[in-house]
Amino acid sequence: MKVAVFGKRRQSREDAPLIFDLINSLSEHNVFITAERLFFEAMTRLTGDALPVDDVFEGDDFTADFAISIGGDGTFLRTARWVGAKEIPIIGINTGHLGFLAEESIKSAPQLIESLIEGKYFIESRSLLEVRAVEGDIRSSLSGWAYALNEVAILRQDTASMITVNTLLDNMPVASYQGDGLIISTPTGSTAYNLSVGGPIVQPTAPCWVLSPIAPHSLTMRPLVVSDSHIIETSVDSRAETYRLTLDGRTLILPINVKLRVRRADFVVKVFHSNGHNFIDTLSAKLLWGISKR
């Protein structure tokens, strides 16, 4: 078995020994371990010792049976970007804060490794959004990665008045959202930015998108759930000459005349879960879902 290890570069000194224990435990099970170079170098600076791995790689120049993401959800999103269309299952280990994607605690790493080695796990497929300009290509401005696992957000400039996001669904007009912008969320991202603007929580494997307006200037505008088989097209009206496009937090400033086309990507992100995992338990643990204080 070969495992590729990614991680955030600012780990705490308290977590560093646990990360070394994780790597050593994998080695004891004859797992070949390759580490992303920036993470490897950051851990070396933090501890003064090199991670005991078999190889080091840069960017997306790797192959593996599994990828391990050590950090928070932001680290998981970056790992998904490097994995790309390889569809290598990602194991999310949390050394950050909330951790919906990086859901396994670093303190439970021994049990996690046991599940991995003994095959006591299942793989869940998560859909991504692909974004293109209706005319032209925006990939070069997004480092070649014009995809989002959580959400695509179309936003006004910080100093501008509200914008209007005209939205089509398979060429059928849906709405002209006036306000601060519009979020197009995946089911995975329903507990992220979408949730903070009042959008619904969606089961991660549901075949749908959520359209959630941001600070809408109308009481009739509400989040809308649509099938992920549709193609969404947007155009923006604003007093400003530009608007912001964000994909999982990566921001691009676009001219006001650039129209976007959003569709389901041709590949998925595969997420590792130990047997017994379920989405409702995650909601209870992370958001206190269904827990009564009475």
Using 50, 70 and 90 to split pLDDT, how confident is the model at 16? Answer: very high
Q: Strand, helix or coil at 227? A: strand
- Predicted confidence (pLDDT) per residue in 47-71, tens digit: 999 999 999 999 888 999 999 999 9
For residue 190, how many other CB atoms are within 10 A of its CB? 27
Using 50, 70 and 90 to split pLDDT, how confident is the model at 191? Answer: very high
CA 283 to chain CA centroid, nearest Å: 17
Using 50, 70 and 90 to split pLDDT, how confident is the model at 294? Answer: low
| pTM score over 0.85 | yes
Tell me: pLDDT of 291 over 90: no
Quote the pLDDT of residue 141.
62
Q: Rounded CA gap, 153 and 166, in Å?
A: 13
- Predicted confidence (pLDDT) per residue in 118-151, tens digit: 999 999 999 999 999 987 666 656 657 899 999 9
Q: Which candidate in 73, 137, 180, 228 is catalytic?
A: 73
Concerning whether 73 is annotated as a catalytic residue, the answer is yes
Quote the pLDDT of residue 100.
79
Quote the pLDDT of residue 19.
95
Answer yes or no: are the C-beta atoms of 231 and 197 closer than 8 Å.
no
- Predicted confidence (pLDDT) per residue in 149-163, tens digit: 999 999 998 777 899
User: Which DSSP letter does residue 199 get?
Assistant: P
Please, which residues have CB within 8 angstroms of residue 170's CB and are 6 or more apart in sequence? Answer: 230, 231
